[in-house]
Amino acid sequence: MKILSYNVNGIRAALNKGFASWLKATQADVICLQETKALKEQVETQFLSDLGYYHYWFSAQKKGYSGVAIFTKQKPLNVVYGSGIEHMDNEGRILRVDFEEFSIMSLYLPSGTNPDRLLYKFKFMNEFKEYVDQLKKEFPNIIICGDYNICHQAIDIHDPIRNQTVSGFLPEERAWLDQFLKSGFIDSFRYLNPEPHQYSWWSYRANARNNNKGWRIDYALVSKPLQSSIQKSYLLPQAKHSDHCPVGIELK
């Protein structure tokens, strides 16, 4: 099974940049999107039916903000919209599909763009970990794909010294991701790719993408019972519908 995860920074903008033909070429079985910035009704979804995808959308209450989606060629046994935690679900940040063998979640973790949002980010992170700790008891085989808005280690960011006081690379954020992984998850990309200078997000400023001055903040985290199933994991920086690039994982 081929699973992709992609923060599209607006699905309608991505469609205008050729997202539909790109998706067809990937032949992905499942794709998790973040930051869709649209209600399902605002998107021409016929291309998804034409490509054989069932599609599920969970949007923020605030229009044009946040939002996640999952497109899947295999119909899930169950679809869960949100976490049941109201403040998270108001922002449309969690969507899960359950299959017989495992579950896949699309996650869009908040960014800490200002002091208030940074406080909210930590609240979200702490409650999300508690939620997942409980969820794993019922669904031990889970893949949480998405934009975590955190670089884990110095290897995951182009300038670790200058960015150590910037949200996304704060010691407290990195420590949280460390604990989250230690609670029973594998960073599937790092599991198979130890090389540096591999990123999933670049600023639109200062020609950052062409100079590969990026951050790796998008992950496909796989629960440990699925470790032996991981065959491939990769980034797709050639896909340029967004300031992020897709993350890919293939499971046998």
Nearest residue to 159 via CA among 108, 214, 211, 119: 214
What is the rounded CA–CA span in Å between residue 113 and residue 117? 6
Of all helices (H) and strands (E), which one includes residue 121?
A: helix 115-138
Q: What is the CA radius of gyration of the chain?
A: 17
**Considering 89, 98, 133, 147, which one is annotated as catalytic?**
147
Is the Cβ–Cβ distance between 95 and 105 less than 8 Å?
A: yes
φ, ψ for residue 162, nearest 5 deg: -70, -25
For this structure, is 147 an active site residue?
yes
Is the Cβ–Cβ distance between 222 and 143 less than 8 Å?
A: yes
Listed in order, strand segments (DSSP E) in the chain are 2-7, 30-34, 54-58, 68-72, 78-81, 94-98, 103-108, 142-147, 185-187, 201-202, 214-215, 218-223, 230-235, 247-251
Is the Cβ–Cβ distance between 230 and 192 less than 8 Å?
A: yes
Pairing of strands 78-81, 94-98: antiparallel
What is the rounded CA–CA span in Å between residue 36 and residue 43? 10
C-alpha distances (whole Å) from 46 to each of 41, 51, 53 are 11, 9, 10
Active site residues: 147
